[in-house]
Each structure stands twice: as structure tokens, then as C-alpha cells.
């Protein structure tokens, strides 16, 4: 990382010093490799939002668009695999917060939120005894070392009832992780954007908004190049090689009503975009155009059916994927690599 990367990264354009109300003009250039084609989602309101290149132990680990007025993130954007840093991962307790949201001259790194107070973001005390979990957007379990620890910042969390948080993990995160393993096995990288939407009207300690919905969108594709892409240049992590083989780009999305809780639904990225009233989550990904949306979606649903049934020992590949399975077995000459 160059010297430029080591200096101030969280740039807030403030009409008055000391307030984060106002126009955030800076872009995510310092940490753009977390976005597919290095382009942030298009169509989210960026007025009165704070852009954070999430920094911990001298490295950027993911990106967040934050809403100081609600004290929750709009989304976090991250990659799989992307383990940066060498210290063993731990769940920070208390969680971190982002000092620069309150004071641009403060530390550029996430910092413990213990005994802090803020008018612009959630701190440890807001969640304490609130009856709500700190629901990760970028999940702790997706990566190792410092990148995992860095997810434990309240700028990456929304209040979730414990049961809904557990079910979000079961119904969405665990499937996204399986898809990420398949994606990485084909030599690609998975770009993920996870966010929250729609206020329930409740607030923790009359401060932190409880959202109604959580959503996630993923795009498996080849990154534009290795240069300046720390996710491709760090330690390669040894995954079990049992993942299903699928040698194509793909995309899909999930959405779950968190409060009151409903089961998660899978949808296309375009359908999610429409639902969130935004333009584009990924710059360009298979399945995000009208002409390849349906085909991609059918294949992804089959892939998900395969990985979720493979959980109970031995996958079942049916329908369209039969030809693909045969082909990949001929190529790999190993039946067991396909399921
Ligand atoms: C985590 O850090 C250790 C060094 O402490 C390194 O050997 C290992 O490869 C790292 N893990 C990943 C997944 O990069
Ligand atoms: C979004 O999806 C929900 C159901 O999942 C539906 O009730 C709602 O009408 C959709 N909204 C838009 C704007 O498409
Ligand atoms: C938010 O609520 C509105 C009104 O009920 C609904 O149309 C919209 O689809 C909701 N957004 C999401 C992402 O579910």
C-alpha cells in the first residue's frame, strides 16, 4: 500500500466543522477494489451519508456507506476471499466504532467504542441490554485474521432480534459462503454487498434505528487485474476442495424481513435493485442484464439446491446441470470433484 493509502481515508466534506450533516463529496477511490469493476453501487442516496474505507491494523478490509441520522449502515461491500493481516481473528468486545465520523482529525482506524458517546453513530452502550444483537452486515465468519476482527465494528452492524440474526445466518450467510467457495474454486472472486432497508420505527435507546429488512447481493466474476488488488495478493487460504465445480460467472440476491421476521427469499439482482429503488449494485455481472437474468437465475437456484442437499452427504445434480456435471467430470476425470 502506498503512502497515500496510509493517510486520511475517510473524507467528509463538512459545511461546518464538527458536524457530519452535509454533503459527502469524496469517493471510495482509496478502497475501490471491494467493488466489482471498482465501481460503487449506483443509485443509493449519498446525501448525508458517510463513506468509510474500513481500516484496521493498517489495512483496509471492507467498505461501508453509513447513515449518521439513523446510526446504522446502508450497506457494507466486501470480497471473498480477502483475508488481509496476520493476527489471529477475535471477536472484539466491546465492538469498534469509527472515530472520524465524529472528528475528522481523529484516528483513521476503527477504535473500541467502550465508554464512548456519539451523536452520529452507534456505540457500545446503545446495544447493551437493548434486547438486540449487533447483526453483522459483512459476516465475521467469511474471512480469517484481521479481516474477520475488523467486521466487529458497529458501523457494520444493525440491530437484529437474536432469533432473526440466527436465521439470517442459516438462511442466507451460510448459503452465500457456500457459493463463495464454489466461486473461488473456479479461480474467480466473489463481490458481496449487504445492507439494510426500511425503518421499523423502533430505536435502541431512542438512538439506533431498527431496520425492517436485510438484503445481500453477490457477484462471482474475475477481478479486473492483480495490480493494486490486495485481495488477490494476500495469503491464499486453504479451503477444503470439496466445493461443487461451476465454471461460470454468476449473480443472485437474498432478502429477509427481519422484523417482524419472515423467511428469506432468493431473487435476482435486478429484482432486488427494483425493490430497493436503486439503479445498479454491480457495474457489470452475469445475470444483471435483462437478456441473461433468467438463465443465470435458474442455474444459481440449481447450484443452491445442490450445495444445500450436498450438506446431507452426496450432492444431487439434476435437470439442466446434468450435462454440465457430465462435462465437468469428463474434463476433471474425477466424479467426486463435481459433487
Ligand atoms: C493468517 O495469518 C497467518 C500468520 O499469522 C498466516 O500464516 C495465514 O496464512 C493467515 N491466514 C490467511 C487466511 O491469510
Ligand atoms: C419489494 O418486495 C416486497 C416483498 O418481498 C413487496 O411487498 C414490495 O412491494 C416490493 N417493493 C417494490 C418497490 O418492488
Ligand atoms: C420498504 O417498504 C415499502 C412500503 O411498505 C415497500 O414498498 C418496499 O418494498 C420496502 N423495501 C424493501 C427493501 O423491502
pLDDT in tens, 163-199: 999 999 999 999 999 999 999 999 999 999 999 999 9
Contact between residue 64 and residue 93 where contact means Cβ atoms under 8 Å apart: no
Higher-pLDDT residue of 7 and 233 is 233
pLDDT value of residue 27: 76
Q: What would the mean pLDDT of 20-28 be, rounded to a whole number?
A: 44
Pick the ligand that lies closest to the CA of residue 213: 3
What is the side-by-side order of every strand in the sheet holding 59-67?
Answer: 50-56, 59-67, 72-80, 189-204, 208-221, 250-257, 265-267
C-alpha cell at 291: 437478456
Which pTM does this prediction carry? 0.85
The mean-pLDDT minimum among 70-74, 182-186, 311-315, 325-329 falls in 325-329
Q: Can you tell me whether residue 31 is helix, strand or coil?
A: helix
The C-alpha R_g of the chain, in whole angstroms, comes to 20
CB atoms within 10 A of CB 293: 17
Pick the ligand that lies closest to the CA of residue 238: 1
Tell me: pLDDT of 15 over 80.
Answer: no
pLDDT value of residue 311: 62
> From the CB of 144, is ligand 1 less than 6 Å away?
yes
Contact between residue 14 and residue 22 where contact means Cβ atoms under 8 Å apart: yes
pLDDT value of residue 283: 97
Alpha-carbon torsion angle 262, 267, 271, 277, nearest 10? 40
For the chain, list the domains and their CATH numbers. 24-338 (3.40.570.10)
The Cα-based distances of 28 to 39, 41, 42, 69, 179 in angstroms read: 9, 11, 13, 21, 26
Pick the ligand that lies closest to the CA of residue 267: 2
Ligand 2 center to residue 272 CA distance, Å?
Answer: 9
What are the φ and ψ backbone dihedral angles of 316, each rounded to 5 degrees? -125, 120
Give the whole-number percent of the chain exceeding pLDDT 70. Answer: 82
Residues contacting residue 135 through CB under 8 Å, at least 6 positions apart = 157, 158, 159, 160, 164, 165, 168, 214, 258
Q: Can you tell me whether residue 119 is helix, strand or coil?
A: coil
> From the CB of 237, is ligand 1 less than 6 Å away?
yes
Ligand 2 center to residue 257 CA distance, Å?
Answer: 11
Q: Atom 7 (ligand 3): residue with closest C-alpha?
A: 275
Q: Atom 13 (ligand 2): residue with closest C-alpha?
A: 275
Residue length of the chain: 339
8-state DSSP, 20: -
Q: What is the pLDDT of residues 117-132, one digit of tens each?
A: 899 999 999 999 999 9
Instruction: Give the burial string for 235-267 (b: 16+ CB within 10 Å, else e).
Output: eeeeeeeebbbbebbbbbbbbbebbeeeebebb
pLDDT value of residue 136: 97
Amino acid at each position: 500500500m502506498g503512502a497515500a493509502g496510509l493517510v486520511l481515508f475517510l473524507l467528509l466534506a463538512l459545511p461546518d466543522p464538527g458536524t457530519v450533516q452535509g454533503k459527502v463529496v469524496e469517493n471510495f477511490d482509496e478502497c475501490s477494489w471491494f467493488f466489482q469493476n471498482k465501481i460503487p453501487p449506483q443509485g443509493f442516496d449519498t446525501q448525508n451519508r458517510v463513506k468509510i474505507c474500513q481500516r484496521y491494523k493498517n489495512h483496509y478490509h471492507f467498505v461501508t456507506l453509513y447513515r449518521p441520522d439513523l446510526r446504522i449502515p446502508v450497506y457494507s461491500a466486501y470480497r471473498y476471499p480477502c483475508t488481509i493481516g496476520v493476527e489471529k481473528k477475535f471477536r472484539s468486545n466491546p465492538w469498534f466504532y469509527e472515530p472520524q465520523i465524529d472528528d475528522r482529525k481523529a484516528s483513521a482506524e476503527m477504535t473500541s467504542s467502550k465508554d464512548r458517546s456519539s451523536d452520529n453513530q452507534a456505540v457500545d452502550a446503545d446495544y447493551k441490554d437493548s434486547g438486540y444483537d449487533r447483526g453483522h452486515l459483512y459476516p465475521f465468519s467469511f474471512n480469517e485474521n484481521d479481516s474477520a476482527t475488523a467486521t466487529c465494528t458497529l458501523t457494520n452492524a444493525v440491530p437484529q432480534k437474536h432469533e432473526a440474526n440466527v436465521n439470517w445466518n442459516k438462511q442466507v450467510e451460510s448459503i452465500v459462503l457456500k457459493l463463495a467457495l464454489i466461486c473461488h474454486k473456479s479461480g474467480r472472486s466473489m463481490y458481496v454487498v449487504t445492507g439494510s432497508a426500511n425503518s421499523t420505527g423502533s430505536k435502541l435507546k431512542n438512538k439506533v434505528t431498527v431496520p425492517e429488512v436485510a438484503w445481500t447481493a453477490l457477484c462471482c466474476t474475475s477481478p479486473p487485474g492483480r495490480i493494486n488488488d490486495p485481495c488477490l495478493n494476500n495469503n491464499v487460504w486453504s479451503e477444503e476442495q470439496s466445493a461443487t465445480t461451476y465454471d461460470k460467472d454468476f449473480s443472485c440476491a437474498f432478502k429477509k424481513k427481519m422484523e417482524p421476521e419472515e423467511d428469506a427469499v432468493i431473487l435476482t439482482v435486478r429484482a432486488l435493485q427494483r425493490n430497493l429503488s436503486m439503479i445498479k449494485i454491480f457495474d457489470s455481472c452475469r445475470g444483471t442484464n435483462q437478456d441473461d437474468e433468467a438463465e443465470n437465475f435458474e442455474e444459481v437456484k440449481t447450484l443452491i439446491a445442490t450445495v444445500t442437499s450436498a450438506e446431507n452427504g452426496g450432492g444431487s445434480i439434476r435437470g439442466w446441470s446434468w450435462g454440465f456435471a457430465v462435462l465437468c467430470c469428463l474434463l476433471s476425470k474425477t466424479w467426486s470433484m463435481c459433487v
